[in-house]
């Protein structure tokens, strides 16, 4: 078992050992709560923008489904002729200056894997930079926009926001409910009560979150696999290829089990190979894979395109909400951001 697997097992498995670390976690929790308090009370400066900002983030580390949900939001705004932009940290980016406005000429090495994929998937203006407020300003100065979505950044309180959407993994939820590094939390679970909207990705539709988010609008989201895409040609092929061939599944994302679960719906058996999140893939990483087909996530695929083989594919996924949840979410957004009753 890898070191990362051991840590996650402690974070997400029940056990009495967590109480040994609870006092230390409490100190970190108090620090996190004070940080937010200083910004909310105006003690620390908050940078406002002329364009409303929606933050889509989480209070845990690891994948919660932010990326497909943001694509879902962007597509819906576009159908309503609402001009939208995105800001992101651009993890592992290497731009000369920040904030950096992404262009068609930028490579995945310059802007980072998630930002590169999101820019080419959504095809809307996007800026990357650790200073989210500056990234928002850069977008406002260079593009005419009606709304900006911040990919993550729930804890970046220097950036003013008009609407907060909290993403939660419905299966893992909040783990042992301890703060980093003793648990998966960036902020205490009580933070759920202060956001505008909660989106639960998968898991039990009657999760414990209902009590925690009393008075907060909540929707459940599912991730659907829409197609299998050839990495080199970007052409779609039938998902039946997964059943007709031997498969190697490769993942370097925050929650690889979610990817494997999606793959299992279309493939009865496959070889797994897991890397750390944001792994910088090399061609040699695949030397030991001898199956007919190699399948990975879209985020991993953008880093492998230069040396991809003819039998390499990625799973294209989409976020989906029920019509009731969809209407509830956009009623809340319309009323708070666009003054629509």
Is 65 assigned to a binding site? yes
The answer to whether the bond into 181 is cis (omega within 30° of 0) is yes
Q: Which residue has the tokens 């580390």?
A: 61
Is 63 assigned to a binding site? yes
Is 198 assigned to a binding site? no
The C-alpha atoms of residue 156 and residue 102 are separated, in whole angstroms, by: 21
Give the residue ranges of DSSP H helices in the chain.
3-12, 18-40, 66-79, 108-111, 113-122, 132-142, 209-212, 241-244, 256-264, 298-301, 323-337
Max Cα distance, the chain (Å): 61
Is 64 assigned to a binding site? yes
Q: How far apart are the first and last CA of the chain?
A: 53
Q: Which residue has the tokens 């990975």?
A: 296
Is 67 assigned to a binding site? yes
The C-alpha atoms of residue 199 and residue 164 are separated, in whole angstroms, by: 11
Torsion angles phi and psi, residue 297, rounded to 5? -80, 165
Is 60 assigned to a binding site? yes
Torsion angles phi and psi, residue 179, rounded to 5? -80, 155
Is 183 assigned to a binding site? no
Neighbours of 75 (CB within 10 A): 17
Is 227 assigned to a binding site? no
Annotated binding site for ATP: 60-67
Annotated binding site: 60-67
């Amino acid at each position: 078992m890898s070191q990362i697997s051991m840590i996650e097992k402690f974070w997400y498995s029940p056990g009495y050992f967590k109480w040994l670390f609870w006092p230390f976690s409490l100190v970190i929790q108090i620090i996190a709560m004070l940080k937010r308090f200083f910004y909310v009370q105006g003690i620390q400066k908050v940078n406002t923008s002329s364009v409303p900002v929606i933050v889509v983030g989480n209070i845990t580390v690891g994948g919660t489904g932010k990326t497909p949900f943001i694509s879902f939001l962007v597509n819906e705004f576009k159908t309503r002729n609402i001009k939208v932009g995105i800001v992101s940290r651009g993890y592992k980016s290497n731009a000369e200056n920040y904030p950096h406005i992404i262009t068609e000429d930028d490579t995945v090495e310059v802007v980072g894997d998630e930002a590169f994929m999101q820019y080419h998937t959504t095809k809307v203006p996007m800026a990357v930079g650790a200073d989210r407020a500056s990234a928002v300003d850069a977008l406002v100065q260079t593009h005419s926009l009606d709304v900006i979505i911040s990919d993550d950044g729930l804890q970046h309180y220097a950036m003013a926001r008009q609407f907060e959407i909290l993403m939660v993994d419905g299966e893992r939820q909040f783990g042992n409910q301890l703060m980093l590094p003793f648990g998966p939390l960036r902020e205490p679970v009580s933070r759920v009560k202060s956001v505008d909207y909660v989106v639960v990705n998968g898991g039990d539709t009657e999760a414990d979150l209902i009590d925690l988010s009393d008075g907060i609008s909540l929707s459940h989201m599912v991730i659907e696999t829409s197609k299998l895409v050839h990495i080199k040609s970007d052409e779609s092929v039938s998902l039946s290829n997964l059943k007709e061939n031997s498969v190697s599944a490769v993942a370097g994302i925050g929650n690889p089990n979610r990817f494997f679960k999606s793959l299992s719906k279309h493939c009865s058996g496959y070889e797994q190979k897991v890397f750390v999140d944001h792994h910088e893939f090399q061609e040699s990483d695949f030397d030991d894979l001898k199956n007919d087909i190699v399948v990975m996530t879209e985020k991993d695929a953008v880093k492998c395109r230069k040396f991809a083989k003819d039998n390499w594919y990625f799973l294209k996924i989409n976020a989906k909400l029920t019509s009731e949840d969809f209407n509830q979410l956009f009623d809340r957004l319309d009323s708070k951001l666009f003054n629509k009753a």
